[in-house]
Chain A
Amino acid sequence: MSAPDSAIRQTLANANLQLAIYSNTGRLKNHRSKAVAPDRFPEYQDLRTRAAAIKRHTLAFLDVYLLQLEHAVNDNGGKVIWASTGEEAADFIIQLAKDREANLIVKSKSMTTEEIHLNDRLAQHELETVETDLGEYILQLAGQRPFHILAPAIHMTRHDVAKVFNEKLGIEHDTVIENQAMTARRVLREKFLNAGIGITGANFLLADSGGVVIVENEGNARLTLSAPKIHVTVAGLEKLIPRARDLPVFLDLLGRSATGQPLTSYTSIVSGPRRNGELDGPEEFYVILLDAGRTKLLADPEMRESLQCIRCGACLNACPVYRKIGGHNYPWVYSGPIGKVITPQFQGVEKDPWLPFASSLCGACAEVCPVKIDIPSLLLKLRKEIVQANPEDRRYFRIWAWLMQRPGMYALAAKIGRALMGFNIGPLAAWRSERDLPAAPPKSFRDLWKQRKK
């Protein structure tokens, strides 16, 4: 499939949308760079190195740590569910909801459940699932998928939100952000109190203690995991870190990389259901460990690195391409640089072969990645894989390589090329569709050099 050119054109032509994307990502980007500046956070680079090393180690010994986690969760009175596909994960929840007669489910923000289309699957079984993160809630009402890994409704203005609330909730058109938040709070509070199951994602899973770590700013995740009688965590296998004592390394990096916060407003570490004598917490506790393609990435020693991602969204905010085309022009739920790297691996490189090529390889993503994923190198590896399967431009590069090994022929071909630069054909036309092309100089450097020597 080729790039969605007309959809991208629409995004680029929408001035309001462009402003929203550029200014909102720009704000997050600036907050991040201030938060990790050497004078304010001198240990930043050391922590990146440690975080990357811990993740690499965990992935190398994932089999060991996964079983350790399962034991720890069991010991805490919870249960681990192994799901090889999104369907298996959803089926478990559907059965659970039916068994417990829980028709209302509240959810906190989770890209993993977006990835497996959990809400749609549950809806097919007449289960009502309500997103409780404000951005996710707005998108659920609007029928959209997240625009951004971290800030799902980053593309919407308060006017857009007023319209959605007016249409879907039947409340008066109100563009005051505080009022909009209060509306969501009022609706959602009711849902929290009546929900039979709360579903969360996980930012980290602690293998040694069986802890599920969730960071957030709104407090909705904390309610999701404590108000309903059942708490289900859906997490990808790669969320594991070995020990609770490794957690500070990641917490120090995650908030700063995501929003510039030294620590998010809430950090919850939950490890199992309510114990005897405890006043609150869920009665049942499940951790669904999702594969859904992750072991395939794990098996590839070169591409495995992309499983180190902690979903901070910093690469999206730094990416000049994302900041133009936004999240919805990417073919899958994960957008931006990391989406470009993992989408082909999860969905198959043949599905959207254009994706790894839609990058200037500027490297801004790798520069801000808190776990040092070398995204440009991974894109190059994917490009190599794609053209191996479908070498559509090979004939041009063969000619090019032939010329470049024969200086005389190269000089001649380049001379002809310069003479043709005035024509509006092929790549020249593509270039001129957006900007001017300089007139070809009458003489090349090598011509001038020869003249000079005479």
Chain B
Amino acid sequence: MPRRAAIFVTCIVDQLFPNAGMAMVDVLERLGFEVEFRDAQTCCAQPAFNSGYQKEARAVARHFIDTFADAETIVVPSGSCTAMITHHYTDLFARDGQALERIRALTPKVFEFSQFLLGLPNLDALAARFPHKVTYHDSCHALRELGLKDAPRRLLGQVKDLELIEMEAAEECCGFGGTFSVKFAQISGAMARTKVDSILETGATHVVSLDSSCLMQLRGSLSRGGHKIETLHLAEVLASRG
């Protein structure tokens, strides 16, 4: 009997980076999971929460809770959306005891993708190969809210023929920040260019991260600067067989 894993495909992955989502499915299946995508799923509610619209955020968070309440395990291809669920849902429902109870039951079952993988015993079964120079971008919420510094690097370390070159500014924000990226576009763009400079210094051909939103920002800035460096979600690297 294969174990089941529900996936929460974040709205950015669903709409703009479906390949990252499919790669995650591929990796999970290769590790023996029966993957379940729930058609009712939409968004984690972070855009409204970060913009101060609590009521709207609560409605969408409730939808997430309803959708996934009975799942055994929920794997998410994003540090930021995972942190929203595991770290901020309780802020949203601080005065709603019933909702808090459901959140407390749900959040231990929610895992960011690399976090989930690292707990598995049979990672060798992945047999990933990626013969390229790679640098890793620490997405802020994965790093600072979920504490994922080591996990993604250890997973990259298991990939055959992959050379990981750390950039100086690995932990610096890429400048995405949700609506910040368009409301304060010039600051956001300047932050991205600083990050790009650091990426270029490594000589890597690929930038890898846990969050497609950061990757969209970096990819946009790399491409605007005329640089031929590719951006990939960690799942895409782990799904690769070179």
Chain A residues with Cβ below 8 Å from B40 are 407
If A320-B172, A398-B56 touch, does A383 touch B18 (CB 8 Å cutoff)? no
Of all chain B residues, the one with the shortest Cβ separation from A434 is B189
Q: Knowing A360-B140, A362-B177, A410-B42 touch, does A433 contact B15 (C-beta < 8 A)?
A: no
- Asked if B141 and A383 sit within 8 Å, CB to CB, the answer is no
Which of B50, B175, B216 is A320 in contact with, Cβ under 8 Å?
B175
Chain A residues within an 8 Å CB radius of B124: none
Name the one of B14, B39, B190 contacting A324, with C-beta atoms under 8 angstroms.
B190
What bracket does the count of chain A residues touching chain B fall in? 35 or more
Task: From A321, A400, A435, give the contact of B187 (CB < 8 A).
Answer: A321
Rounded to whole Å, the gap between the CB of A95 and the closest CB of chain B is 45
Contact B21 A445 (CB under 8 A): yes
Of A98-106, A107-115, A242-250, A386-394, the stretch lying at the interface with chain B is A386-394
Contact call B48/A400, Cβ cutoff below 8 A: yes
B216: which of A324, A430, A438 is its contact (CB, 8 Å)? A438
Given contacts A363-B140, A435-B223, A436-B220, contact A443 B18 (CB under 8 A): yes
A5 within 8 A of B: yes
Docked Cα-Cα span, A320 to B42, in Å, equals 31
Q: Chain A residues near B179: list those with CB within 8 A.
A: 357
Is A404 part of the contact surface with B, judged by Cβ < 8 Å? yes
Task: Tell me the complex Cα distance, A446–B191, Å.
Answer: 32
Whether B43 contacts A404 by the Cβ 8 Å rule is yes
Q: Is the CB of B140 within 8 A of A438?
A: no
Tell yes or no: B16 within 8 A of A by CB. Answer: yes
* Residue in contact with A449 in the complex, picked from B37, B45, B176, B217, CB distance below 8 Å: B37
Shortest Cβ gap from B76 to chain A (Å): 13
Q: Which of A400-454 contact B (CB under 8 A)?
A: 400-401, 403-405, 407, 410, 414, 417-418, 427, 430-431, 433-438, 440-441, 443-449
Q: In the complex, what's the smallest C-beta–C-beta distance from A445 to chain B, in angstroms?
A: 4
CA–CA, A153 to B104, complex, Å? 49
Q: Does A325 contact B (CB under 8 A)?
A: yes
B47 on the interface (CB 8 Å rule)?
Answer: yes
In the complex, chain B residues whose CB is within 8 Å of the CB of A440: 15-16
Contacts of B181 in A (CB 8 A): 360, 431
B177 touches A361 (CB 8 A): yes
Report whether B186 and A404 are in contact in the complex, using a CB–CB cutoff of 8 Å.
no
A403 contacts which chain B residues (CB < 8 A)? 42
Within 1-51 of B, Cβ neighbours of A (below 8 Å) are at: 9, 11, 13-19, 21-22, 25, 37, 39-43, 45, 47-51
Q: Is the CB of B60 within 8 A of A435?
A: no
Question: Taking the complex as formed, is B95 at the interface, i.e. its CB lies under 8 A from any CB of chain A?
Answer: no
Check B144–A435 contact: CB distance below 8 A.
Answer: no
Interface assignment of B182: CB less than 8 Å from any CB of chain A: yes
A448: chain B residues within 8 A (beta carbon): 18, 21-22
Q: Are B175 and A360 in contact (CB under 8 A)?
A: yes
A227 proximal to B (CB < 8 A): no
Q: Evaluate whether A8 and B144 lie within 8 angstroms (CB atoms) in the complex, with A364-B173, A443-B18 already known.
A: no
- A404 to B16 alpha-carbon distance, docked (Å): 16
Asked if A358 CB lies within 8 Å of chain B CBs, one says yes
Does A366 lie at the interface of the complex (its beta carbon under 8 Å from any beta carbon of B)?
Answer: yes
- CB of A384 within 8 A of chain B? yes
Determine whether the beta carbon of A404 is less than 8 Å from that of B141: no
Interface residues of A in 223-269 (CB under 8 A from B): none
List 30 A–B pairs whose Cβ atoms lie within 8 Å, in order of A's numbering.
Answer: A9-B186, A320-B191, A321-B191, A357-B51, A357-B180, A358-B184, A361-B50, A363-B144, A363-B145, A364-B140, A380-B91, A391-B53, A397-B56, A400-B56, A400-B60, A401-B48, A401-B59, A403-B42, A407-B39, A418-B16, A433-B185, A434-B186, A434-B188, A435-B217, A436-B223, A436-B224, A438-B219, A441-B17, A444-B15, A446-B9
State the 6 A-B residue pairs at the shortest beta-carbon distance, nearest first: A434-B189, A360-B177, A435-B220, A383-B52, A362-B173, A387-B52
- A residues near B (Cβ < 8 Å) are 3, 5, 8-9, 12, 22, 320-321, 323-325, 357-364, 366-367, 377, 380, 383-388, 391, 393-394, 397-398, 400-401, 403-405, 407, 410, 414, 417-418, 427, 430-431, 433-438, 440-441, 443-449
